[in-house]
Each structure stands twice: as C-alpha cells, then as structure tokens.
Chain A
Amino acid sequence: MSKGLLWRFSLIALFITLSLLYLTPTLVSPLPSWWKGLLPKDRIHLGLDLQGGTHLVMEVETQKAVEGTLDLIATDLEDALSAKTLRYKQIARQGGDRVGMTFYDRGTADEAQKLLKDKYPTMTLVPPYDEGGFVHLQLRMNEKEAQERKDRAVAQALETIRNRIDQFGVSEPVIAREGLTNIVVQLPGISDPKRAIELIGRTARLEFKLVDETVNPAIATPGTIPEDTEILMEKRTDPTTGAVTEIPLAVKKKAIITGDLLTDAQIRIDSQFNQPYVAIEFNSTGARLFDQVTAANVGKRFAIVLDNTIYSAPVIRERISGGSAQISGSFTEKEAADLAIVLRAGSLPAPVKIIQNVTVGPSLGEDSINKGLMAGAIGVALVILFMGIYYKLSGMVANFGMILNVLFLMGALAALGATLTLPGIAAIVLLIGMSVDANVLIFERIREELRLGKTPIAALDSGYDKAFLTIMDSHVTTLITAAVLFQFGTGPVKGFAVSLSLGVIINLFTALVGTKAIFDFVLNRLRVKRLSV
C-alpha cells in the first residue's frame, strides 16, 4: 500500500512539475537568460478571438486557371501556325475546356491537325468538321489534366500567398489548404487588416501591352474596335484632392511581356518629384524581349497593366536594354511598397475570392481575455466555497483535485501547442463545475457506506469502487461529443472541443488517482479515525 502511495504521489508531482514547466513561458516574460536548451519556450497560443487578428478563408477560382492556360495555348498556337504560314480565320478559347480553330480550307486544317498532335499530345483532338464554308477544329483538355491544373493552381496560390505574407511581416501566420479549393489564412495581431487583405487577395498579373493609337477610346464600343484590341482603364489619383479619375485607353490584347519574367521589384523614391515608384528587374528572357520590343516601337506608347488596370502608359523614348524598368503612377509609399511585394512574390495562378473574413480588433480581444479570466476566477471561487461548506475537509480535497485539473489542463494546452479560444475558456469554466462531479459521486457513495456502519477506510474503498464505472461511463459520453466537435468544428469551436476533451481525460486522472491518493495517505498513514465528508 505504501509503495503504491509513493508511486501515485510521484506521478502527481511529476505532472505538476511538467505543467509548471510548460506554463512558465506563458506566465514569465521575458524568460530568464538561463532558460534555454530543451526547456519549452512556447507560450500558450491564443486564438484570434482573444488576441485580435484576421481569419480569412479564400476560394481559389480554379476554373480561371484552366481558362488562363487555354488562353495561353491559343496565343501559342497563333504564333506556331503563323510561323508555318498556315492561314487561319480565328483561334480562341471556347467554353471552359477547349480551344477552337477556324480554317479556310480542309488542307490547312489537316496540316494544323498534325502540328497539334505533336505539340499537345495529352489533349484530345476533335476531328475537323465543315460548317458554313469553313473548317473547324477543337482541342479539348481532358478532365484529369484540368483537375491536375486546378490542383496545382491552389498549391501555387498557397505558395504565393505565403511569400507575400512573409514579406509583409506577420509573426506566426497560419496558411493552410482546406478542402479542394480553399485556403485558410490566419494573421494574428495585425494592425491594418484591410491592407493585408488587399495585398493577399490581389491577383497581381503584370503585363506590358502596346497602346493601340488607331482607336479613339473615348468613343469606342466593343463592336467597333479591332478584335485584338481592348479598352482598359487608367486610374489616376489627384495627389492633393485624392479624387480618382478613370481614363479609358485602347491597348492590344496580347501582352508583350508578363510579370513571370521578373526577378526583382523594389520601391524607390523619385528624387526630382519626391514620388515613390517601383523599380523592376527582368530575367534574361525578359530583358531580351524588352530590348526587342522597345527597339521596334520607339515613339509609341506602351501600357503597364496590373490586373487589368493601367498604372501608367509612358511613351517609349529610346531602346531600353539592360533589363530594368520602372512602374510609376500616382500611388502612396505604402501602395508602392505593397506593389513591390506582390510583384516579387509573383502573381496568383488564378484569382481568389474571400468567402470568410473574421477580424477581431485587439481591444476586443483583450477585453475578452480579461472577462473570460474574471468569469473563470469567480466560477472557481464559487465552486470551492460550495464544496468546502458542503463536504467540509473532503470537499477541500475535491477542490485540490479541481485545481490540479485546471493546472494540468493549462499545462497540456501549452505542451501540445493547442490554441486557447474564448469558448475554450468557457469549456474550462464548465469543466470546473463538472470536475467535482466525479468527487461528488464518490462522496455520496461514501456517505451511504458510512450510514451502513462501515469503517472510514472500508467506506472509502467501496465508495471509489462503486463510483468507478459510473465515472467512466459519464466521461466517455462527454468525450464522444467532444471528439465530434473537434472533428467538425472550426476556429473557436475547435478550441472548445480541445479544452473539453483534454479536461475530461485529465479529470479522470485527478478524480481516480489524485484525490484517492490524498485520502489513502490521510487514513492509512495519519491514522485518522473519522472521515470529514
């Protein structure tokens, strides 16, 4: 018996030490200098509802990634067919999964068919068919390949977003994929959520397009402009009034250079006008292309387009070699800095849509913590008071068990790196009420046994024995709901489930081992004759 007692007390002492060890970083700040090496350094993670911050769920519009690929294939085919002097009437993406081509005669179509088979072996070719005096041909992307492409688009988007957040500078962000198309981003404690969201959500597709001077954008309508031209808006912000004006501009649809040819982007300040701009560097392919294009188009204008908005449309004054250029426009320093970040981090392979955005201000978070802790403290005090009065000394033992329970639970939360949320605090408070339940069951049994005239030691043992199964059953049922909550809950609810399930398991230990050890010690070692229950 005494050996068993030693074991149990050692185990309890070990758990207390471990809990305190894991809780030290949370309670002591800063950590003393000798606190290093293997000792735990992580504080308890606070959920966004407690420390403030932004929780975003974004849906990657993966279909757009497939369509983008098909658009690229269409452009590529135009070049390839022109290079072989195969005359075509039209090449364009059709629907969400194919590229359609129209030829003037069967011979050219057959030639083109051969070329397509070599160039795109993985895609399905719809055999040529005549219609309205023309020959049509379709290249279709398989379901499986489209799916792979969508999958890759989400993975790429995740990577790009992670890059952007890293450069934006958020400590401990959570960036994770959820389901097929969703990305979850958590940014704890950021001060300017709006700016961060804009930065993350921006597609950032940078394109250089030639301005079509033959079209007057002011009177152009979609029907009257050439097929390879489109109207885009140039946004100008008046630096003094802040008013935004939009000027339409006709540009060629085809981009000469795109953002994926960049190696670097930096914010600089124009010393002459004290205006921020973004300096960009091209890679070797980009530099060569830029050199060729500027050489061939001196005196013309080209537009710098980001996500279908024109930032500036300067005139090419001379051939630009060397592979560097600049994007100027009427933006603030912050805007220019963010632009540089998105250009460096690369564009998203498909647009993202924010489908859930939960932002909690830091003041509300702090308020929640304070109130949660206050409610917890009052709850603990009330229960301690009640148990002490109702069960006297035994009640104090139960209270000791309950405090161990809370301590172990906090320690376990810290050790597992679990997140404490406001509902999590609620779960702990609820557990405080429930944690004495096991003791109540036991104490009521003991009282019954004592009434039957048993000795304190016998009453104690049979009380624990008889209550054991009941305690197990009641804990398992709670554990079932906690497990389901954990599986299906998100954010704060998950935090609730974690606290609840850990608490239930710990409670089993403190009720069956913790308090029993104290009773055994008191009755067997101290030879107390009366049980105060």
Chain B
Amino acid sequence: MQIIGKTNFDFMGKKKITFVISSIIALLGLIGVGQIALGTANMGIDFSGGTAVQLNFSQPVAIDQARHALAKHGFKDANLQEVSGGNKLLVKVGKATHVQGPAADAIEDAFRKEFTDNRFVIESSTEIGPAIGDKLRKDTLVAVVISLVGIVIYIAWRFDFAFGVGALAATLHDVLAMFAVFFVMQKEINLLFITAVLTIAGYSLTDTVVVFDRIRENLHKNVKDSLTAICNFSINEVLSRTIITALTTFLATASLFFFGGEVIHDFAFALLVGIIVGVYSSVFVASPIVVIWGSRNKETKA
C-alpha cells in the first residue's frame, strides 16, 4: 500500500505564498513572546509564582457560587476553571494575593465554610514562591538558547552553513508558531509547554535533517540542475516518509491528547501543533532558505 506515488510538486515555487504565511505566524509568535516578556501573557504559576489548588467535590458546584465564596474570603482575583471529569474545580491565585499563611489552606478553609454540605477532597495543590518562578524563567530561557545553539552548530558541522541557517530558521519558526497558537488561544504558558517546545525543536529538526540529507546526496549525484530543482526533487523523494512519520507520531500523540487526562492535555496539544508545523517548516521554510542563501553565495563567488 502506498499513500502517494511518485510526486512532482513544485514546493520551491510556492515560497512567496508560504513565506507570507510563515511571517504572519512568526509575527504572532513574537507578539506572544513579547507578552511574556512584558508579563501580560497567561503565565502558569510555575513562572509567575502563586497557588493552584484542585478540588474534587461530591456534588456539582456552580462557578459563580465558588467565585463568590472565594471573594468573600479575600480571593477576589482567583482564576477558576472547571476540570473535565467529575465535579472538579481548579483554583489559581497569583502571588499578589495577601492572605495570612499558605494560600492553599486559606482556599480550603473558604470552601469548607461556604459549602458546608458539599464535601470535597484536595486532589493537588501547588504553591510557588515568586523567587523560584524567576529562577525557573531564567533557567528555561538559558535552556532554550543552549539547545538551539547546540543544534545549529551540529547541523552547520554536518552539512554546510547555509543548511545551518535554514535549520535555525525552521526551528525558530516552529517555536514561534507554538507560541503563536498558545497566544491566540490564550492557553497557559507553563513549564510543560516549554518542555513541549524544546521537544518539538528536536523533532522538527529531525524532519529538516532528513530533507537536508537527501538534498546533499542529490547535490553530489547531480551537478547539472539548479539548486531549486534539486531541492524540489529531494523533497518529493522523501515526501512519503515525511507524511508517514508525521502520521505515526501524530496518532500516538493524539491518543495522549484524547485519553491522557487533564494534566497532560495542554502538553499533548502543544505537541500536536508542533508536529504539524514541524512538517510544514521542513518543507516550506528550511529548504527555500537554503536555496536563497546558497544561490546568493554562488553569485558572490562567481
């Protein structure tokens, strides 16, 4: 069985359209990153500090009632979220809330007093001091930069500088695309999201490397054709592999997304987004940049 036979798409010819699409995605991603830098993004308490408590009630709870109960006990800005499955409620408060003692205990007390006939258990509670959030944010930034630099050095060493540039651009594009999607959907930026971003950086690189490998091989075999033609030819050659791998990874991750439970839900979602943009970028971002960069070098040499 074969999904697609021998193909002959003109991928390079679409670069004007795809560059516009990519630029829009990257721009959105940059805005998202800017929001994080300004502190206006939807940051998880991993980074901003604060308290999150997940409660499991025996009877359904109306969000409004819960909000009212919390406001009565000094948590006016509490962020309430219903969790799928059971009567679960996730309460988040920022570090700015001033309550005596641990906020998690105060939240528990508030519900105990206000919902006397609705028993509940605390499923999880997380309290993160602002100092540790700062440290995490710094460490994370360092981690992202180091891994990107490491990858680019590896690619530049294994291939050619033009390929290194293409790989870097494609990886950055994917990272920004994930930020863009999370920014547009107002999803929370937390440690797991960053983990997903780094994983996808590695994954999308894998895709890019496979395409590059074929381009390099064909460059050696074929010296007559233009770089553009060789890129097109190579991408078509590995297209079935690209689609199949994306499909298997997507299937596995999708099962994580649908059946993995609430804790892993957004993480799996980030991975799904990453897999799609990873495939797109290795075809429509990485190779066109190699073509542009590579042919410019040829001109200057000639």
Contacts and interface: CB of A to CB of B under 8 A. Distances in A.
A356 B206 contact: no
A378 B54 CA distance: 27
A487 B143 CA distance: 8
Contacts of B19: none
Contact of A363 (B121, B154, B205, B214): B121
Contacts of B237: 448
Contact of B128 (A356, A359, A475): A356
Interface in A431-486: 432-434, 436-437, 440-441, 444, 448, 466, 469-470, 473-482, 484-485
B34 interface: no
Contacts of A434: 203, 206, 245, 248-249
B201 A481 contact: yes
A515 B1 CA distance: 21
Contacts of B250: 433
B136 to A, nearest CB: 8
Interface residues of A, number: 71
B60 interface: no
B281 interface: no
Contact of A478 (B105, B206, B247): B206
Contact of A368 (B155, B255, B261): B261
Interface string B127-150: 111011000100110110011001
A387 interface: yes
A356 B132 contact: yes
Given A359-B124, A372-B264, A489-B195, A440 B202 contact: no
Contacts of B126: 357-359
A361 B124 contact: yes
A423 B256 contact: no
A401 to B, nearest CB: 13
A379 B251 CA distance: 6
Given A382-B255, A386-B248, A434-B203, A493 B195 contact: yes
A280 to B, nearest CB: 29
B213 interface: yes
A152 interface: no
A320 interface: no
B23 interface: no
A440 B241 contact: yes
A528 interface: no
Nearest to A441: B241
Given A372-B261, A429-B256, A437-B248, A360 B147 contact: no
Contact of B244 (A375, A440, A473): A440
A529 B83 CA distance: 57
Contact of A444 (B240, B258, B260, B271): B240
B267 A426 contact: yes
A273 interface: no
A474 B127 CA distance: 39
Interface string B190-227: 01100100110111011001100110010000000000
A477 B251 contact: no
Contacts of A500: 199
Given A363-B56, A386-B247, A423 B123 contact: no
B102 interface: yes
A469 B210 CA distance: 9
Nearest to B141: A488
Contacts of A477: 151, 154-155, 202, 205-206, 209
B91 to A, nearest CB: 14
Interface of B: 1, 3, 54, 56, 102, 104-105, 121-129, 131-132, 136, 139-140, 142-143, 146-147, 150-151, 154-155, 158, 191-192, 195, 198-199, 201-203, 205-206, 209-210, 213-214, 217, 237-238, 240-241, 244-245, 247-253, 255-256, 258-261, 263-264, 267-268, 271
20 contacts: A353-B129, A356-B132, A357-B128, A358-B125, A359-B124, A360-B124, A361-B124, A371-B264, A375-B260, A379-B253, A380-B252, A390-B1, A425-B264, A432-B248, A441-B241, A478-B206, A480-B151, A481-B198, A485-B195, A488-B143
